[in-house]
Structure 1
């Protein structure tokens, strides 16, 4: 430890022992006030003088320690509170690039001896996080809001682990609250049961804009999240199931167009829907033949015929289908969800 820091801490230890106050134990509002008062009452002669610069540095450390105690002392064990000290540190360094970092360290060690190591480690990780933000600023600005938010959280969790949700807890709670409101809006639309499909789509889009705003809603649309929410509604699926195939596909495309998908995206999604339809038709034909074989055959003969049937319908995917069936999963017994699977 540097000489300046040693002088401050040595004098601080002598004063607190003499006065019967142990500042290292952070607990409760009254204790915080007592510790702050003890620091404020520190007299210059209680610390061995080593010139004016040393006294000024000592006084500045004590001043900062009192401020940190009064402002953050009650909840200093919370990572979210500790993270708030980062702005204090940055302000010190900006004002005094040569000594600001050491002033902050000394003040934290003086005010919070028990948690100083934890706080300083957090400061170092926050430095890394902000360096990453600076290095990636232009790229992040070019991302859509949902992509940017995802990358930020991935980097936070990589650097801070489980602490990330505590440090940025208010932000996470804000997003979670929006998600819950949107899910409730979807549930309300499901329960209405009387709206036409175009009105359902309109209400869903309106709810998303009210909750998330226009920019985030456009991102939801581009990622497919808004369409997924619409086509997940049982009432929508019930209506689509009753339509002839050609009319069904046109209805799905019209609903997507209502959300603002561009024509080239609509064309790609329609082709994907057609591939899904062909897979389901092939899968349903396979299941009918499989059930017929299961009624007529058994044992090795049945297994041999099932292998042949799977190869006939699924080609190189036949072993995958066989493994799924061994585990009791039959993919074509799942509910068909038009526009989704």
Structure 2
């Protein structure tokens, strides 16, 4: 069963199995080792792949379990240490379905490394001996986890043929059926919230007649609606991500583009301030915005002169003039820009993305 994980990896974020920044490692060609399972439970704050275009910060790596990869057998001492480590990290919350799945996925990786052909039996034996009070519950969750992975693999082609909303509905139907509605909602609670926020951003982008300030106010209200009492803490942990998702909206970029430079700087500062950035950070951002603005202004002048030369000259004569032009505008980067342009990349022909470049 665990061998199906490799096929799941081909689905990528499309099927929401692996959280951004995390990936299972497929075995090398010819290896008999079973691949590690892709995680079902995304890390805190992971955005829904269906609604964000910018990757969040890399996931924090899970501390290695006792007995590194490559061990062919697990001794009693090692298993005792493993159980103690798991109880220390998860024990207080092991009645929570999402925590159970997270721990079981660690154990799936651990036992598939050591017992590729009988990892499930060994894992169940470990649970029965080290977690007897929760054995039935953990064993059932493990079976649901394996069955869900198999369902996704078996329905790969079908899911790819659905619209995003149909695919989402099919995934949730399967989760509810296999895990039970309450457990599934708790396991994928962060995805629900991220999806709700993504839907809110789509709605905000389409708000007719609303300016940046009004959309920002509506965005903050939606954050409060989605995260409730945890909204302030969530914003405190993810200010950059939340700010980027808002400023990436096409309607926000369009309005920022239409503003006068000083008005745009004020608007960018207001967005960042509302997202919880402190004064020191606001000042750093404003300084960076001004540096970027100046650089783009220089780039526009350079591009205009370059285009004029290209219309007048060609061949070696053109290249000689372009070398002098690049050296005049960009003394420390002239060679790099020349290499970029030789490869067909003209950096100042790229779209300006406020808050990004």
TM-score after normalising by structure 2: 0.48
Secondary structure at the aligned position of 1:316 is classed as: coil
1:255: how far off? 2.4
> Do the aligned partners of 2:235 and 2:275 also contact (CA within 8 Å) in 1?
no
Alignment of 1:131-150 (within 5 A): 131=85
Give the Cα–Cα distance (whole angstroms) in 2 for the partners of residues 126 and 279 of structure 1. Answer: 60
Secondary structure at the aligned position of 2:354 is classed as: coil
The answer for the alignment partner of 1:210 in structure 2 is 225
1:217: how far off? 1.9
1:180: how far off? 2.9
Alignment of 1:156-195 (within 5 A): 173-195=188-210
Give the Cα–Cα distance (whole angstroms) in 2 for the partners of residues 78 and 309 of structure 1. Answer: 55
The reply to whether residue 220 of structure 1 matches residue 220 of structure 2 is no
1:247 counterpart (263, 276, 288): 263
The answer for the alignment partner of 1:200 in structure 2 is 215
> Do the aligned partners of 2:235 and 2:276 also contact (CA within 8 Å) in 1?
no
Query: Could you tell which deviates more after superposition, 179-188 or 204-213?
Result: 204-213
Secondary structure at the aligned position of 1:192 is classed as: coil
1:131: how far off? 4.7
The answer for the alignment partner of 1:337 in structure 2 is 353
Give the Cα–Cα distance (whole angstroms) in 2 for the partners of residues 195 and 260 of structure 1. Answer: 22
> Do the aligned partners of 1:290 and 1:306 also contact (CA within 8 Å) in 2?
yes
Secondary structure at the aligned position of 1:315 is classed as: coil
The answer for the alignment partner of 1:320 in structure 2 is 336
Q: Provide, for residues 110-132 of structure 1, a one-character-per-residue CA deviation record: whole Å limited to 9, x for no partner.
A: xxxxxxx99959x9699569759
Uncovered stretches (5+) of structure 2, i.e. residues with no partner: 1-33, 38-70, 90-101, 114-144, 150-183
1:256 counterpart (258, 261, 272): 272
The reply to whether residue 283 of structure 1 matches residue 299 of structure 2 is yes
Q: Provide, for residues 316-339 of structure 1, a one-character-per-residue CA deviation record: whole Å limited to 9, x for no partner.
A: 222222222222221211221222
Alignment of 1:229-240 (within 5 A): 229-240=245-256
Structure of greater Rg: 1
Aligned-residue Cα RMSD (Å) equals: 4.3
1:177: how far off? 4.0
Give the Cα–Cα distance (whole angstroms) in 2 for the partners of residues 305 and 130 of structure 1. Answer: 71
Secondary structure at the aligned position of 1:236 is classed as: helix
Number of residues of Structure 1 aligned to a counterpart in Structure 2: 206
TM-score after normalising by structure 1: 0.50
Give the Cα–Cα distance (whole angstroms) in 1 for the partners of residues 307 and 340 of structure 2. Answer: 16
Give the Cα–Cα distance (whole angstroms) in 2 for the partners of residues 199 and 119 of structure 1. Answer: 61
